[in-house]
Amino acid sequence: MSILACNKLSIQIGNHLILSDLSLSIDEPQFIGVFGPNGAGKTSFMKTLLGILPVKSGLLQILGKNPRQARKKIAYIPQQQETNNLHLTGRAFIASSIRGNHLGIPLVTSKDKREIDHVLEYVDAKDLANLSLSEMSGGQKQRILLAQALLGNPEFIILDEPFNNLDPKWVKIILSLIKNIQQEKQIVVLLSAHDINPLIPVMDQVLCLGNQAAVLGKVDTIITTKVLTELYGFPIQVIKVNHTCFVTTFFN
Amino acid sequence: MLTLEFMYHAFAAAGIVAILTGFIGYFLLLRREAFAGHALSHIGFAGATGASLLGMSPFSGLLIFSLFAGGLIGFIGPRLKDHDVAIGLVLSASMGLGLLFLHFYTHYAIQVTSLLFGNIFSVDLVILYDLIGLALFCLIIMLFFMRPLLFASLQPDLAETRGISLRWVSIIFLMLVACITVACVQVTGILLTFSLMIGPAAVARQWIKTVWNGIFASVFLAILEAWGGIIASWYTDLPVSFWISFLSFEIYLISLILSKFKKKM
């Protein structure tokens, strides 16, 4: 059974065709980086996997089910969450998502508390539990969001540009945390970003979106000067130094 | 003061209204929809004066108009921060319409003044029972609806992936706000509902870091301000709604100064 299977998948928002006839398959747990120019449809593709946006045509199966049936087992960290004015603690923030889709009073049981403690400990964020979100740095907030994503033992994690506004140190810390989670829990991680370089050492495969199409492949075959220049419609150079790739742009 | 029956009614009505406003105000701020809450009460004004013109009870006009407006604002956009201009224009147009209705039917000028600024000392047992009924209805819906409301307010994108309709959450929530605004009219009046809905919640949110404690603090402050307003009005012979809005502003100001002071330390 494929973890993710797309067959001639097309996604359309209003009159705007985002993806056309996309076919790809992900068969084993891995870390996949998602890239593409602005407006290429990275977020739309992710929202379709989550069942928020409809499939226009074609087949889409995730964890062997359609997206709406599978979403219980998919964790999602959306792009740019507005948490700057939130005075709630990390723990209270995480607790708000527990059974959030059920009616009733949001009481936290002792079982819920244990589960929150467990995920906080897993991402090494126990010390953030009682700190308010407005007092946290961008990297600390990402840790809290990661902890929340791990509630309910997801089999698939989707992260939409989690490194926006993070400095390189925090990008490295959060990235290695995500990689550890992916390997220990043997799940699929789909992570979109603008800066390819920090992800090159951790990615198993790369998914590039552009011009309503997508290509999925190993880092060596996709992260090349030719593919990236075509995809972005802009001269991009991939330089290899001591078996390490660097993606850069030309300046005249 | 407490030997008079109308004072008991006033304290009871103010207490009930404060519980409702403290509760809903916390969520209004969490959802950053304070302006929508403010607009709803003003939009209701046109309904109340329009109903008077048609010979109906102004409260029924207020309730129907506010509920309709709440549902409509909720339907237009779950993320209301993008609709400030539209809400502001609807708000001022409604006030203008209310004034026009008033122009045609000046008979009800006194009743309209109490709609605008409240008249808590005129609360009798019938009004009190109506208020209790409305409060119970709002609280039951609120508690029943609280879990998805909290989730959708804090993390709308994630809530959507779990099958929650942000639009329906927004519609139900703003209709609840409309109901509570109507309940508030007798105490603070349409123009000053903001003081009991937003003031206490803003202070609670500033200092309290968990949801339930924040709600309790917001309700506690709302009761303090509402009852404090009645007591101050008794001793000074100035309007209750003035005192409530004044206390709300003062407490918010003190909280703001203290929080700036705390940050510097």
pLDDT value for B107: 65
Q: What is the least distance, in Å, from the CA of B246 to any CA of chain A?
A: 25
pLDDT at B231 over 90: yes
Tell me the two tokens of residue A209. 């979106």
Q: What is the CATH number of the domain that holds B91?
A: 1.10.3470.10
Span of B41-45, B124-128, B255-259 with lowest mean pLDDT: B41-45
Chain-chain contact of B151 with A93 (C-beta, under 8 angstroms): no
Give phi and psi for B9, each to the nearest 5: -60, -40
Interface residues of A toward B, Cβ cutoff 8 Å, are 50-52, 68, 71, 74, 76, 78, 81, 85-89, 91-93, 95-97, 99-106, 130, 132
> Distance (Å, rounded) from C-alpha B187 to C-alpha B228?
13
pLDDT value for B28: 92
Nearest to B82 by CA among B135, B27, B119, B32: B32
B262 touches chain A (CB under 8 A): no
Give phi and psi for A197, each to the nearest 5: -50, -50
Nearest to A147 by CA among A90, A71, A191, A108: A90
pLDDT at B64 over 80: yes
ipTM of the complex: 0.85
A100 vs B contacts (CB less than 8 Å): 147-148, 150-152, 155, 159, 162, 164
Q: Could you count the other beta carbons within 10 Å of the beta carbon of residue A33? A: 23
pLDDT value for B83: 64
Q: Name the pLDDT band for B80 (thresholds 50, 70, 90).
A: low
β-bridge pairing A74-77 and A57-62: unpaired
Tell me the two tokens of residue B210. 């968990």
pLDDT at B42 over 70: yes
Which tens digit of pLDDT belongs to each residue from B193-223? 888 899 999 999 989 999 999 999 999 999 9
Range of the domain at B87: 5-264
Residues in a beta bridge with A61: A5
Rg (CA), chain B: 18
Quote the pTM value.
0.87
Which tens digit of pLDDT belongs to each residue from A45-77? 999 999 888 888 889 899 988 888 888 889 999
pLDDT value for A250: 62
Low-confidence ranges of chain A (pLDDT < 50): none
Cβ contacts of A10 within 8 Å, gap of 6 or more: A17, A19, A20, A21, A22, A55, A56, A57, A58
Nearest to A19 by CA among A241, A210, A239: A210
Which tens digit of pLDDT belongs to each residue from B129-156? 988 999 999 999 999 999 999 999 988 8
Tell me the two tokens of residue A248. 């850069």
pLDDT value for A241: 73
Residues in a beta bridge with A207: A34, A216
Query: For residues A13 and B83, which has the higher predicted lDDT (pLDDT)?
Result: A13
Q: How far lies A63's CA from each of A9, A46, A69, A185, B189, in Å?
A: 16, 15, 9, 15, 55
CB B114 within 8 A of CB B192: no
B141 touches chain A (CB under 8 A): no
CB B152 within 8 A of CB B44: no
Chain-chain contact of B148 with A102 (C-beta, under 8 angstroms): yes
Chain-chain contact of B163 with A86 (C-beta, under 8 angstroms): no
Span of B51-65, B75-89, B202-216 with lowest mean pLDDT: B75-89
> Distance (Å, rounded) from C-alpha A217 to C-alpha A24?
10
Domain count, chain B: 1
Tokens 């209705």 locate to B101
β-bridge pairing A31-35 and A16-26: unpaired
A104 vs B contacts (CB less than 8 Å): 143-144, 146-147
B152 touches chain A (CB under 8 A): yes
